[in-house]
Chains A and B, each alone.
Chain A
Amino acid sequence: MTRNMKRKRFIGSKTSMLVLAVACSLLFTACSSKSSPNAAEGTNGGGAAAKPVTLKVEVFDRGNSPAGSTITDNYWTKWVNENFGASSNIDVEYVPVPRSEEVEKLNVLMASGSNVPDIVFTYDPNTFNRYAKQGGLTDVGPLLDEYGPNLKAFLGDDVLNYGKFEGTQFAIPAKRSNTGKYASFIRQDWLDKLGMPVPQTTAELYDTLIAFKEKDPGQIGGQVIPLGMTIASAQYEPLLWSFIKTMTEEQKFTLTQQLGSNDYPILLPGFKDGLQFMNKLYNEGLMNKDFGLDKDKKKLTEDISNGKIGFFTEDDVNIYYENGTYALLQKNIPGAEIAAVDVFTNEEGKHAKPKYASNGLYIMIPKSSERAVEAIKYLDWMASSDNLFQLQNGVENENYTLVEDIPVAAENPTVEATNRMFNAGDMAIISNGKQLGSLEKNLKARAFQMPKAFQEQVAVAQDIANTDTIDLILLDRPIEAQTKYATTLLDKFNEIIVKTTMAKPDQFDSIYESMLKDYMSSGGQAILDERTALYKEMKSK
């Protein structure tokens, strides 16, 4: 534009442009000088030995800081600087990134090329793959060998493998303490009233749902919803995956579509049968008519706690939280009882259900960072001695007490103690969930966090979640089409579930066919082709 104005010899002569520019720059310097000291700027004091170097670490901001602390200045940031920073002459500074805009903000930070924290992370494997592919990440392999022995030991090779991109360690994946996902839940008091046993198979479940609908054991008028369904994966995944048939290794590898961090069964044999079953349930009035609107399970929670729902699947411990769904149900409907059960069966009679990958966050060090060594030191420190334990559990006797080496949440903690833990989970980036050395202990610790009255049932639900789980397919190298089309295809996948389920039975086939066609042409085929090629490549080796 500037160039253009000059060319036209319009009133904007060179002089006036100059005046203009000066005026503006004056304005801006005036403005910026008033601005608050910019914490994120200036890390150039690195060379001097006496002066501590600054390590900038990303932290998720969820806007839940309690009164008196901020996400960048709180109990744990001080604790880190006292325990790690002081001894290693490193100033750890936290750069907040809004949790909900995680990827967007990270993208802009990366693209702008400065102000990038030395430690960044994301849950999105596609983002990790993209950064790695575009050459923006530090190879942390050698650094880990040199500076991260504790970290390496803590994570183990299995987890670390998730952070490799075409063989190079471009990310440090966090370790997940428990990979179990889902359990099923049924109104035991309804079953008792009808004199029915707990259903053991999908077919028995169907009869039970019919009985719930017809006999209305809860006596709630016409409002009974035998099967609680939503369009969140916890509700549809256990059902759909139980319809997947036994496959050869090749089928598994080539037909699975990994969109984001989960595997999706859309092309697997049996998937259509699952949809057909959902369609049947829907058209017979056995599930919520509005399930396709309920993305955040809000309506489901509401209906469960109002005693309208007979059976549902859910994340294993979700209903047991203090003042959570189950507690509310008991308040609203005295005598209501929910039992954790394992119902959906596949053709082998197994309760097959998905699980999490053994990794969580992808922790990355941008190539532009000059503090890669310090970054590894920081993570290594977190993994060493009892630092992670403290970070995850707080202060003994104030936040927890030890029972058989397992931390149990303190009863009636002070406000100070409760507030202290508001960001503890987000500070302990190397782990998702509490780590106590073994799955058994981890699960126990998780149960101990729950209200006493439910702890036994939590244990049952957790066991169910870890039974007959389906392993995720590991890929030697990332599938480019997956990185590219995942978000689009994920939407289409959910759309297929909603549309086919809500279809009139005679239209089911045509809707399924046309939507699958759209799915395939929008990237599904590209993923299939790439996976098939990769499989051949693997076999020929």
Chain B
Amino acid sequence: MREQTANRIFDTVNFIVLCVCTLICLAPFLHILAISLSSVRPIVSGQVSLFPVELNFEAYFKVFSDPAMIRSLGFTILLTGIFTVLCMVMTIAIGYPLSKKKLKGRKVFMFVVVITMFFSGGIIPEYILIRNLHLLDSMWALVLPGLINPFYLIILISFFNNIPESLEESAEIDGSSHFRTLFSIMLPLSLPVITTLSLFYAVGRWNGFTDTLMYITSPELYPLQLKLYQLIQNNMITELMQMEGAQMATVVPESLKAASVIFATVPILIVYPWLQRYFVSGVMLGAVKG
């Protein structure tokens, strides 16, 4: 009986704490949403908190009627899709062999990878490399340099390592090739981590824009986040505009910024709930070590 009460207390506390955390995480999103739906006066006067004041849909009309914005969304989805698939292929291709303790040279390869977590050539040689490969101002400049994230690779290897060796060995004894073991045993068993890493890669690409600032000059190849960044960053400081003698007509209203944030965030936000099902179906076997 005491145990049941304890369990109930645990559940209640758990529920309440999670509720609070959830609300805290939701609030800023609501705030941005509210701003995107409010009019100029209450926004600039700082009167908008969680609910729209002087409801106004104009910002969304503007976003959705801007062909550049729609095209940018399309491009970003394409870019993220291609990037994520290629990343996963490459990461699995290196992760699987490196999870084999028996593989000769494994440590050296790992070392080659780990070094790149810390050492890099810096922005100038990287730019020159992209230029020499004739990738400047092309989508591939945003795809190829980031194909394997060593950190994600290490996570993948650690998950592979936790799959009982007996399974692989039995497959090997059956004469199954390494490729087949990978496809028929390792990958299905690793679905949750593969989903997770895909999400990491996808979100990283979706949210990243610093490389686009350097490598992309054609507006057709602007990902959403770059447009967003420019909206938010530029014209932020009125002083700068005064100095430049610029005209006020160029200022982007706060509501449009907020609407663009929503526009650029929601598509990637809904990816995770959709992926969550793989988190359950991946469970086929216990793989608890120790």
Q: Which residues of A contact B (CB under 8 A)?
A: 1, 8, 10-11, 28, 31-32, 34-36, 38-41, 61-65, 67-68, 70-73, 95-96, 98-101, 104-105, 108, 111-112, 114-115, 123, 176-178, 181, 232-234, 295-297, 299, 301-302, 305-306, 315, 317-318, 321-325, 328, 331-332, 356, 360, 418, 421-426, 431-434, 449
Q: Is the CB of A31 within 8 A of B140?
A: yes
When distances are taken between beta carbons in the complex, the residues of chain B under 8 Å from A95 are 217
A65 is contacted by which of B46, B137, B219, B247 (Cβ under 8 Å)? B219
User: Contact string, B118-153, partner A, CB cutoff 8 A, digits 1/0?
Assistant: 000001100110010111111110001000000000
Instruction: Give every chain B residue within 8 A of A32 (Cβ-Cβ).
Output: 133-135, 138, 140
Contact, CB under 8 Å: B230 / A100: yes
Task: Provide 24 A-B residue pairs closer than 8 Å at the C-beta atoms, listed in order of the A residue.
Answer: A1-B112, A28-B133, A31-B138, A31-B140, A32-B140, A35-B134, A35-B135, A36-B137, A36-B139, A39-B218, A61-B230, A64-B234, A70-B220, A72-B219, A96-B217, A100-B233, A105-B213, A108-B124, A112-B127, A112-B131, A176-B245, A296-B237, A302-B46, A360-B245
Complex: chain A residue closest to B129, CB-CB:
A112
Kindly list the 6 A-B residue pairs having the minimum CB-CB distance in the complex, ordered from nearest: A63-B230, A35-B138, A433-B245, A432-B245, A70-B219, A302-B46
Residue B13, interface by CB 8 Å: no
The distance in angstroms between the C-alpha atoms of A425 and B247, with both chains bound, is 7
B-chain residues with CB within 8 Å of residue A177 when the two chains form the complex: 245
- A36 with B220: CB separation less than 8 A: yes
- The listed residue (A63, A306, A328, A356) touching B227 by CB distance below 8 A is A63
> Which of A108, A315, A421 meets B214, CB within 8 Å?
A108
Given A36-B220, A317-B242, A425-B245: 15 more A-B contacts, CB < 8 Å: A10-B105, A35-B138, A62-B235, A62-B250, A63-B227, A105-B213, A108-B123, A181-B242, A297-B239, A299-B46, A305-B45, A323-B40, A331-B41, A425-B247, A434-B245
Residue from B219, B244, B248 in contact with A123 in the complex, judged by beta carbons closer than 8 Å? B244
- Report the Cα distance A297→B44, complex, angstroms: 11
When A31-B140, A360-B245 are in contact, do A115 and B131 touch as well, CB less than 8 Å?
yes
Q: Is the pair A64, B137 in contact by a Cβ cutoff of 8 Å?
A: no
Q: How far is the CA of A105 from the CA of B220 in the complex (A)?
A: 19
Within 8 Å of chain A (Cβ to Cβ): is B243? Answer: yes
Contacts of B46 in A (CB 8 A): 299, 302, 306
**Are A115 and B123 in touch, CB under 8 angstroms?**
no
Chain A residue with Cβ nearest B235: A62
Contact B231 A39 (CB under 8 A): no
Contacts of A101 in B (CB 8 A): 213
Known A-B contacts A31-B135, A328-B44; A98 and B219 likewise in contact (beta carbons under 8 Å): no
Instruction: Show the binding face of B for A, using Cβ within 8 Å.
Output: 40-41, 44-47, 65-68, 104-105, 108, 112, 123-124, 127-128, 131, 133-140, 144, 213-214, 217-221, 226-227, 229-231, 233-239, 242-250, 252
When distances are taken between beta carbons in the complex, the residues of chain B under 8 Å from A70 are 68, 219-220
Closest Cβ neighbor of B140 among chain A residues: A31
Q: With CB as the reference atom, state the residue of chain A lying closest to B232.
A: A63
Contact of B250 among A64, A296, A318, A433 (CB under 8 A): A64
The answer to whether residues A322 and B248 also contact, given A10-B108, A100-B230 and a CB cut-off of 8 A, is yes
What is the minimal beta-carbon distance from B83 to any residue of chain A, in angstroms? 13
Complex: chain B residue closest to A295, CB-CB: B237
CA distance A10 to B124 in the complex (A): 31
Given contacts A38-B137, A96-B219, contact A425 B246 (CB under 8 A): yes
> A308 to nearest B CB, angstroms?
10
A321-B248 contact, Cβ under 8 Å, with A101-B213, A305-B44, A306-B46? yes
In the assembly, what is the distance between CA of A135 and CA of B238, in Å? Answer: 34
Q: Which residue of B lies closest to A320 (CB)?
A: B248
Establish whether residues B127 and A425, one from each chain, have CB atoms under 8 Å apart when the complex forms: no
The answer on a CB contact under 8 Å between A98 and B230 is yes
| Residue ID in chain A nearest B233 by CB atoms | A100
User: Residues of A contacting B139 with CB < 8 Å?
Assistant: 35-36
A60 to chain B, nearest CB (A): 9
Give the CA-CA distance A297 to B238 in the complex, in Å.
Answer: 8
Q: How far is the CB of B40 from chain A (nearest CB, A)?
A: 6
Which B residues are CB-close (under 8 A) to A317?
Answer: 242
Q: Which residues of A contact B137 (CB under 8 A)?
A: 35-36, 38-40
Q: Return the chain A residue nearest B234 by Cβ.
A: A62
How distant is the Cα of A36 from the Cα of B213 in the complex, in angstroms? Answer: 17
CB distance from B64 to the nearest CB of A (A): 10
The complex places the Cα of A99 from the Cα of B226 at a distance, in Å, of 12
Specify which chain A residues have a CB less than 8 angstroms from the CB of B250 in the assembled complex.
62, 64, 422-423, 425
Q: How far is the CB of A453 from chain B (nearest CB, A)?
A: 16
- Whether B238 lies near A68 (C-beta < 8 A) is no
Q: How far is the CB of A286 from chain B (nearest CB, A)?
A: 21
A418 and B217 in contact (CB under 8 A), knowing A68-B67, A425-B244? no
Q: Please measure, in the bound complex, the distance between the C-alpha atom of A10 and the C-alpha atom of B108, giving whole angstroms.
A: 10
- Cα(A240)–Cα(B105), bound, Å: 66
Whether B134 contacts A38 by the Cβ 8 Å rule is yes
Across the interface, which residues of A come within 8 angstroms of B247, CB to CB? 421, 424-425, 449
